[in-house]
Amino acid sequence: MQAKANILIVADESIFPLATSDYLSSYGYTIVGTSNSGESALNHIPNLLKTPLQTDLALIGVQLNGRISGLQTAELLRQHFNIPVLYVSDRDRVKLLEAAQITEPYSYVVTPCPLEDLCIAVEVTLHKHRTEQKLQNMESELIDLRSQFIFHCFPMNFALH
């Protein structure tokens, strides 16, 4: 079975049990790394960049062990590596998800939840990210075409006279 997506998991065991990682793997996803702290996850990224496995999605706990919060980790992954984030939080931390909106998450899941719901959230997140990537590419192409159009319609020698 070909992997559907490569997922980095950054959450502690109480929020995201190991069995959930196994379930995602059995559903066709490749788990490229697991971590319970933002520092560890961010240190793991350079190693992932050296492999053919691209990280397609990060599942991140809102609160993590260590000095870097889940929100900070998500923002760094999004800004520097263009990795979409799906937040995972238990019911006690739902208020933190409101603060998470500034990091532009694609979605979030409150645990415990049915594993099928997690897979649906993963698929929605991946689809939304791919759609945004296509839109950005189309915008870039449009800007290039506009520049070419202006250049062809108004050659430099015409502009100088």
- pLDDT tens, 50-89? 665 688 899 998 878 888 888 888 888 888 888 899 988 8
Of the ranges 22-36, 41-55, 137-151, which is most confident? 22-36
Q: What is the pLDDT of residues 32-45, one digit of tens each?
A: 888 888 888 888 77
Q: What is the mean pLDDT of residues 149-153?
A: 71
Cα–Cα distance for residue pair 134/57, rounded to 1 Å:
17
Question: What are the domain boundaries of the chain?
Answer: 6-160
| Closest listed residue to residue 5, CA positions, set 135, 116, 85, 122 | 122
| Closest listed residue to residue 120, CA positions, set 86, 154, 84, 69 | 86
Domain 6-160 belongs in CATH node 3.40.50.2300 = yes
Amino acid (1-letter code) at residue 50: K
pLDDT of res. 2: 47
